[in-house]
Amino acid sequence: MKILFRISIVCSLVGALVFTSCTKKNQKPGEGEITPEDTTIVDTTDSVVVMDSLGMRTAKQVIYSIYAGWNLGNTLEAVGGETAWGETKTTPDIIAYVKNKGFNAVRIPCSWDLHAKNGQIDAAWMKRVHEVVDYVINQDMYALINIHWDGGWIENDIENGYSEEVNLKYIEYWQQIATEFADYDDHLLFAALNEPNSYNGSDKVNTATILQYEQSFVSTVRATGGKNMFRTLVLQGPNADIDKSYNYFKTMPTDTVPNRLAMEAHCYLPYTFCGLTEDESWGKMQYYWGDYLSDIQTDRNASSTYGPKYIVTEMNKLQKRYVSNGIPVILGEFGCLYRDNDENVLDQENHHKSVCQWLETVGRESRNHGCVPFYWDCTEGQNFNLINRRKLTLRDQDMYDALMKGLSEGTYPIE
């Protein structure tokens, strides 16, 4: 394959290159190497080419320029169109309001297959996604687009093993998406998937399948040329789950340039408190967490095992596996159900305080462990909602203040 750009230095490396960690205190970038025990992340690139990068920064430089991110949830990924899941049409004023509230990045979950025919993305849909990306970029914010659930044609198929038919469709979509945005600078990031399924079968086998598709993602985007040759690309492990990623996603795809890949995980932990909407055989809904357990509904208290220290433990896994080895991480989704309209929650005061403490804790500890947090905000009336997009108001001032307090107390472990 011919690559048309100016090469300044070419370095050939033999074998695999172990990722080095983020910079130590008082250590200049590029000095020294850190190889912590129990870390097996490997860059499988056979050769590294140092070239004119068209002004595109490394993944760490880009990712850690993001203070905090916000999800335009249940919108451009909605089945049936942008407003099909109850949200209002996105406007520049909405994005300006998000920026005003302290976020400097927007993750834009996208559907593509739902707006395509015979592998070709509808031109009007591509134009609409482009418009929304521009709303973000024009605010001098960072934008991240992905192939989200999208009807499940790829994410739900992971457990069936690698499919050449699925892979070819995946390549075809990313060729179109990447070509559309090839001239955008590094304020635009691409993410391979959302939460590639690994609920059944072997997580190890499913991870191998995910890696095959994500290798196609990296190779396809790079081949479209322009600034895509150096764009930060974000990868996901099984379910975007912290534990499964830590245990199984230990090797990154091959890339043509170094230091341009990042990792993504999601956090709704413990799920019985953060996300469960009905009791299940494996667990009951919990309304109270951390320091604010209830004396009224003791059976709905989260176990102390899954309190604030548990969040620290989970963030530490992402830092140890990825951040400490030079791979920046985004916490692409995090959130907690606020059940203020649930008559089954009998102790609303402690529930409210529990949610606030959770948001503060995740905001602080994600940043302290090198994971850039993106709040999952979805349709008005749903219990993850933080910003009312129709009225441009906050749903709950205390929740917002708690999150901002945590973010302000957290510091990325880099220089």
CATH number for the domain harbouring residue 393: 3.20.20.80
**SS3 string of the chain?**
CCCCCCEEEEEECCCCEECCCCCCCCCCCCCCCCCCCCCCCEECCCEEEEECCCCCCCHHHHHCCCCCEEECCCCCCCCCCCCCCCCCCCCHHHHHHHHHCCCCEEEECCCCHHHEECCEECHHHHHHHHHHHHHHHCCCCEEEEECCCHHHCCHHHHHHCCCHHHHHHHHHHHHHHHHHCCCCCCCEEEECCCCCCCCCCCHHHHHHHHHHHHHHHHHHHHHCCHHHHCCCEEEEEEEEEHHHHHHHCCEECCCCCCCCEEEEEEECCCHHHHCCCCCECCECCCCECCCCCCCCCHHHECCHHHCHHHHHHHHHHHHHHCHHHCCCEEEEEECCCCCCCCCCCCCHHHHHHHHHHHHHHHHHHHHHCCEEEEECCCCCCCCCCCEECCCCEECCHHHHHHHHHHHHHCCCCCC
Domain count, the chain: 1
Q: Where in the sequence numbering do the catalytic residues fall?
A: 195, 333
Q: Indicate whether 403 belongs to any domain.
A: yes
pLDDT tens digit at each of 415 positions of the chain: 433 333 333 333 333 333 333 333 333 333 333 333 343 344 444 333 434 589 999 999 999 999 999 999 999 999 999 999 999 999 999 999 999 999 999 999 999 999 999 999 999 999 999 999 999 999 999 999 999 999 999 999 999 999 999 999 999 999 999 999 999 999 999 999 999 999 999 999 999 999 999 999 999 999 999 999 999 999 999 999 999 999 999 999 999 999 999 999 999 999 999 999 999 999 999 999 999 999 999 999 999 999 999 999 999 999 999 999 999 999 999 999 999 999 999 999 999 999 999 999 999 999 999 999 999 999 877 799 999 999 999 999 999 999 999 999 999 998 6
Q: Indicate whether 1 belongs to any domain.
A: no
Q: Indicate whether 25 belongs to any domain.
A: no
Q: Indicate whether 15 belongs to any domain.
A: no
State the pTM of this model.
0.89
Q: Indicate whether 41 belongs to any domain.
A: no
Q: Indicate whether 402 belongs to any domain.
A: yes
Q: How confident is the model at residue 414, as a pLDDT?
A: 85
Residue 84 lies in domain: 57-409
Q: Indicate whether 19 belongs to any domain.
A: no
